[in-house]
């Protein structure tokens, strides 16, 4: 999912955009009027999307109109598609999306944060053939269909959330597994309590250890020693992906494992494979 530039990003395997219109007849709408001052920019925008392989010319019986929205600079345009009528007949996909207020509550006790901006992140998700046809849009310059998932679809947020969940499950895991990590945390906590007891003066002897960055020797309590231990990094990369990255309509992401109480068993399987 990580790439550079504005070219077509590599596909995120395991999540496929499908649009189930429940056997509804195709809905074809007329193109809306585009101001003449925006036609040249619309042409360049569509040309870039065609060249990147994000859209293709279409003969689909479906057609949704586009809406031109100006960006903040007041000059460049943003291509938006009015999928309102198509979304009304689309079957909703049931998948849990985190609530912003819940995330803010969980993060209120943290000090350091890191954020990544996924530019046009929806475009990493491939589409089924029937989704290509249903996503078709029409404008004064022609009739086109999407080859990657666009914004505006009813189930697009849930599908993208599934992609993120699958990606994190294969990327963010404790070294040695969750059980080993919990055991190390318990041992470090017990050692810290023993060290802080006022009657046990022997535990206050200065201890030195080398940080994982090999920059200096410092005196640390048991918790800090564990944090700076090169074997105690909380997360490991390139770990096996237990989710198997199957299509979005099956329950196989790590969120499902937690909700259905299967996380611990799968963690043991991952640890055994490692």
105-144 confidence digits (pLDDT tens): 878 877 777 777 777 788 889 999 999 999 999 999 999 9
Helices (H) and strands (E) in the chain, counts: 9, 9
Q: How far apart, in whole angstroms, are the C-alpha atoms of residue 88 and residue 100?
A: 25
Task: Take residue 36 and report the two structure tokens written for it.
Answer: 């003449």
Region of poorest pLDDT, from 31-40, 56-65, 163-172: 163-172
- The yes-or-no verdict on residue 40 having pLDDT over 70 is yes
CATH for 16-171 is 3.10.10.10
Average pLDDT over residues 90-108: 85
Per DSSP, the three-state class of 269 is helix
Task: Take residue 104 and report the two structure tokens written for it.
Answer: 């803010």
Show me where the domains of the chain are located.
Answer: 16-171, 178-228
Q: What residues form DSSP beta bridges with 272?
A: none
Q: What residues form DSSP beta bridges with 173?
A: 236
Q: Which residue has the higher pLDDT, 151 or 253?
A: 151
Q: How far apart, in whole angstroms, are the C-alpha atoms of residue 139 and residue 99?
A: 35
Q: How far apart, in whole angstroms, are the C-alpha atoms of residue 25 and residue 171?
A: 42
pLDDT at 196: 63
- The yes-or-no verdict on residue 58 having pLDDT over 90 is yes
pLDDT band at 104 (very low <50, low <70, confident <90, very high): confident
Closest C-alpha to 241, from 214, 269, 215: 269
Tell me how long the chain is: 274
pLDDT at 197: 57
Q: Are strands 77-81 and 217-219 parallel, antiparallel or unpaired?
A: unpaired
pLDDT at 249: 39
Q: How far apart, in whole angstroms, are the C-alpha atoms of residue 249 and residue 246?
A: 8
pLDDT at 85: 96
pLDDT at 174: 62
Q: How far apart, in whole angstroms, are the C-alpha atoms of residue 172 and residue 237?
A: 6
- The yes-or-no verdict on residue 71 having pLDDT over 60 is yes
CA distances (Å), origin 134, targets 28, 84, 113, 130? 10, 12, 39, 6
Task: Take residue 32 and report the two structure tokens written for it.
Answer: 């809306």
Contact 184, 175 (CB under 8 A): no
Most confident listed range (76-80, 164-168, 248-252, 254-258)? 76-80
Average pLDDT, the chain: 73
Q: Are strands 64-70 and 137-139 parallel, antiparallel or unpaired?
A: parallel
- The yes-or-no verdict on residue 151 having pLDDT over 50 is yes
- Non-local CB neighbours of 254 within 8 Å, separated by 6+ positions: 165, 166, 168, 169, 242, 243, 263
How many CA within 13 A on the CB side of residue 174?
15
- Non-local CB neighbours of 112 within 8 Å, separated by 6+ positions: none
Per residue in 190-237, pLDDT (tens digit) is 877 777 655 444 444 444 444 433 434 344 455 555 545 544 444 344
DSSP state of 61: S
pLDDT at 91: 94
């Amino acid at each position: 999912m990580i790439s550079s530039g504005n070219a077509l990003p590599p596909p995120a395997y395991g999540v496929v955009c499908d649009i189930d219109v429940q056997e509804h007849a195709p809905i074809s709408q007329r193109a809306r009027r585009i101001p003449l001052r925006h036609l040249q920019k619309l042409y360049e925008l569509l040309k870039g999307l065609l060249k990147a392989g994000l859209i293709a010319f279409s003969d689909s019986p479906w057609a949704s109109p586009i809406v031109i929205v100006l960006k903040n600079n007041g000059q460049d345009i943003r291509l938006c598609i009015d999928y309102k009528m198509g979304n009304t007949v689309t079957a909703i996909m049931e998948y849990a999306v985190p609530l912003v207020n819940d995330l803010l509550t969980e993060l209120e006790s943290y000090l350091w944060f890191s954020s990544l901006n996924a530019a046009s992140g929806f475009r990493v998700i491939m589409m089924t053939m029937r989704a290509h046809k249903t996503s078709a849009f029409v404008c004064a310059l022609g009739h086109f269909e999407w080859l990657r998932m666009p914004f505006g679809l009813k189930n697009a947020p849930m599908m993208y959330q599934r992609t993120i969940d699958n990606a994190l499950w294969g990327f963010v895991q404790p070294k040695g597994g969750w059980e080993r990590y919990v055991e190390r945390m318990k041992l470090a906590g017990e050692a810290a309590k023993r060290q802080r007891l006022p009657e046990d003066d022997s535990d206050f002897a200065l201890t030195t250890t080398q940080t994982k960055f090999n920059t200096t020797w410092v005196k640390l309590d048991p918790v800090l020693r564990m944090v700076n231990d090169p074997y105690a990094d909380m997360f490991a990369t390139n770990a096996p992906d237990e989710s198997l990255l199957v299509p979005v309509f099956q329950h196989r992401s790590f969120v499902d494992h937690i909700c259905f109480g299967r996380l611990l068993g799968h963690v043991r399987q991952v640890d055994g494979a490692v």
